[in-house]
Structure 1
Amino acid sequence: MRGAAGKGNTLEFGPRTVAVVEDNPSMRKSIERLLNAHGLKTEGYSSAEAFLNHATATEIDCIVIDIHLDGMSGIALRHGLKTTHSTLPVIFITAVDDDALEAEARGAGCVAYLHKPFAAASLIHAIDKALATD
């Protein structure tokens, strides 16, 4: 993704972009508003398939994925990205408290795994961490 060195959440070319893949429209909008308020650009997608069909990977710096999506799951999306050799940092979010699911998500590779409802600061911290390693 755009791996140029920058300060905070912006590069010399502009703000960093976070894709939000969440099938709940109000949750997706809430996350996008939060990230926009912290100087990040966002692209919202209602499904993994919509992300795969419409996202421009070179313009995305990080992705926040709900694990339980209609159609392809968030974990399946992550596995699919890995098969294309994507190094896009991933943050998983879920409303389900399940240790086996968390282990599977972490095994798929993620910067953070957050349980809904999560504190805004937790998501911002996870994104800052993801962008620092990008």
Structure 2
Amino acid sequence: MLAGKRIYIVDDDSGFLKGIERLLRAHGLRARTFLSAQAFEAEADLRDAACLIVDVHLGDVSGIDLIRRMLAGPAAVPFIVVTGNSSETTRLAAAAAGCCAYLEKPFSSKALLDSIRSAIELH
């Protein structure tokens, strides 16, 4: 199911990206990180994506807007929304976009890994 696939992570916090990438690699998952929506859109090849993890508040665009643009394209990839500043409006927008999980920072490693597994299994 995950052979050759990657978990793509988009967050404007480089420390967060490094930590999540290490966690995923420690659990045998391949990861690719992006510091901005622009970098993700320019460099990501969703044909090898198993799952996308995207922060709501990116410096250059809303993570929800990025997801909406991604969903308008040809590749359907399950996604998880993460945020450090949750609100009911954000939670509803993420749900309306079809997120598989919505995690508030800080979250546990187990919560993230369980969310990734669920997202991939449901897709």
Q: How far does residue 87 in structure 1 lie from its aligned partner after superposition? A: 1.3
Q: How far does residue 133 in structure 1 lie from its aligned partner after superposition? A: 2.1
For 2:47, the equivalent position in structure 1 comes to: 58
Task: Give the letter for the 1:102 counterpart.
Answer: R
Task: Give the letter for the 1:121 counterpart.
Answer: K
Q: How far does residue 32 in structure 1 lie from its aligned partner after superposition? A: 0.7
| Partner SS, residue 93 of structure 2 | helix
Computed over aligned residues only, the root mean square deviation of the Cα atoms, in angstroms, reads 1.1
Distance 1:127 1:59 in 2: 15
Structure 2: gaps spanning 5 or more residues: none
Q: How far does residue 63 in structure 1 lie from its aligned partner after superposition? A: 0.5
Q: Is the 8 A contact 2:91 2:102 kept in 1?
A: yes
For 1:120, the equivalent position in structure 2 comes to: 109
Distance 1:121 1:36 in 2: 14
Identify which of 62, 67, 83 aligns with 2:56.
67
Q: How far does residue 86 in structure 1 lie from its aligned partner after superposition? A: 2.9
Q: Flag the structure with larger Rg.
A: 1
The TM-score, its normalising length taken from structure 2, stands at 0.95
The TM-score, its normalising length taken from structure 1, stands at 0.87
Distance 2:65 2:75 in 1: 14
Superposed CA deviations along residues 67-111 of structure 1, whole A, max 9, x for unmatched, are 000111110001001111431000000001211111111111100
The reply to whether residue 78 of structure 1 matches residue 59 of structure 2 is: no
The reply to whether residue 109 of structure 1 matches residue 98 of structure 2 is: yes
For 1:89, the equivalent position in structure 2 comes to: 78
Distance 1:71 1:61 in 2: 24
Where do 4+ consecutive residues of structure 1 move more than 6 Å? Answer: none
Distance 2:61 2:85 in 1: 17
The reply to whether residue 34 of structure 1 matches residue 1 of structure 2 is: no
The reply to whether residue 131 of structure 1 matches residue 120 of structure 2 is: yes
For 1:3, the equivalent position in structure 2 comes to: none
Structure 1: gaps spanning 5 or more residues: 1-5
Q: Is the 8 A contact 2:9 2:53 kept in 1?
A: yes
